[in-house]
Amino acid sequence: MNIRSTRVSFAQLREMIRTHGKYLSESSTECFHDESFILSYDDKLVCAVPAFVSNGSACFHDGTSIVPIILSEDYFAEIGEQVSDWARHILSSSTVTSIKILLDAPFKDIFSDGYFSVEDNTRIYGFYDLCRERSDAWPLIRKSYHSLIHKGERSFITKRYINTTSIDREIEKFLCNSSKTTYQYDSERVNDFFKKVAHGQGVLAAYYYEEALVSVIGVCLWKKFREQGDFFYELGANDHSCAIPTHSCLYDTFQFLKSEHLGERVFLLHGVPQKRPECEVKLANIDKFKMGFCTDMFSRPYKVIHRGRV
């Protein structure tokens, strides 16, 4: 069976994907060399591969892994062969030493012939499913959080921001400069998030206890896996000296999104490597906290492909 490989620009590939009802986020950047290509059979598009080269790696244009988009499961074997041939060719280049790629079917075994060396980069995703009934989701939350959430629900006053530019500047100070939080955000990142709120692409919630600001939660629309319906927990700052633990603030934000039918999922774990370096104790503790709220989790088999040994 003769499947043809054709180089196309990322912009062309993206339009082709849209006509098939699929979603491909973001646009290419000038600092990455576009190597995108499509695979077709009798002029029928069967696979699209958005690929770029930067700093010696073939990857997606933001430096993450290439995710081949399969449009026909009838040609799995042939698609796998073509992608393997492309990998051999690009790794023979003096400028490319590795390929970052998602090895879902049909690619699981195409790099196992000894020509390639495969390094694992599996990633975990965890989210709160807004489509679940509260009675169904509640038992999945870590039991030790239950009483803390109930206590906070009785204690905090909430102010929400959506589709507005009128955000209290005290919130920016709390996120960026407060001595009461364990992490200070960069002001540029915070103001970028405020712009998302102004354009309806984010929700911000501020929580007060005895008139003092004790927690800020920010979630934004996240177009990672589908065009709409997902949110990402982007900002979170808490006054850990507060007499009432602030666990309920994050949970309250979930319930607000659910009640307003604003999305289907909130991602708390954003492609976390399956194995964190042991020295990153703080990151591991943050992961553990977030996992306590996740109602669902899944992993994706990302790999880094080299020629020969790693």
CATH code for the domain of 46? 3.40.630
Q: Residue 302, SS3?
A: strand
In a domain, 295, yes or no: yes
Q: Is residue 309 part of a domain?
A: no
Q: Where among 113, 145, 169 does a domain terminate?
A: 113
Domain membership of residue 92 (yes or no) is: yes
Whether residues 64 and 138 share a domain: the answer is no
Same domain membership, residue 90 and residue 129: no
Per-residue pLDDT band for 279 (boundaries 50, 70, 90) equals low
Residues 146 and 272 in one domain: yes
Do the domain assignments include residue 305? no
253: its two tokens = 């934000």
Give the pLDDT confidence score for residue 155 in this predicted structure.
Answer: 95
**Strand pairing partners for 49?**
37
Sign of torsion over alpha carbons 85, 91, 93, 98: positive
Q: In total, how many domains does the chain have?
A: 2
Same-domain pairing of 175 and 274: yes
Summarize pLDDT for 38-83 with one digit per residue, the tens. 999 988 999 999 999 998 999 998 888 999 999 988 888 899 999 9
The answer as to whether 118 is a domain residue is no
Q: Encode pLDDT of 109-160 as tens digits.
A: 888 888 899 998 898 999 999 999 999 999 999 999 999 999 999 999 999 9
Q: Are residues 167 and 237 in the same domain?
A: yes
268 & 135 share domain: yes
Q: CATH code at 174?
A: 3.40.630.30
Q: Whole-angstrom Cα distance, residue 182 to residue 180?
A: 7
Residue 278: per-residue pLDDT: 57
User: Which residue stretches of the chain are H helix?
Assistant: 10-19, 76-91, 134-137, 143-155, 169-177, 187-198, 247-259, 281-291
**Model's pTM, two decimal places?**
0.81
d(CA 232, CA 270): 8
Which residues are within 8 A (CB) of 229 and not within 5 positions of it... i.e. 6 or more apart? Answer: 263, 264, 265
pLDDT of residue 310: 46
217/293 same-domain check: yes
Residues 140 and 97 occupy one common structural domain? no
Q: Which domain covers residue 60, as residue numbers?
A: 4-113
If asked whether residues 146 and 292 sit together in one domain, one would say yes
Q: Which of 225, 231, 181 is nearest to 203 (CA)?
A: 231
Determine which helix (DSSP H) or strand (DSSP E) holds 47, and give its type and residue range. strand 44-49
Residue 219: which H helix or E strand, with range?
A: strand 212-221
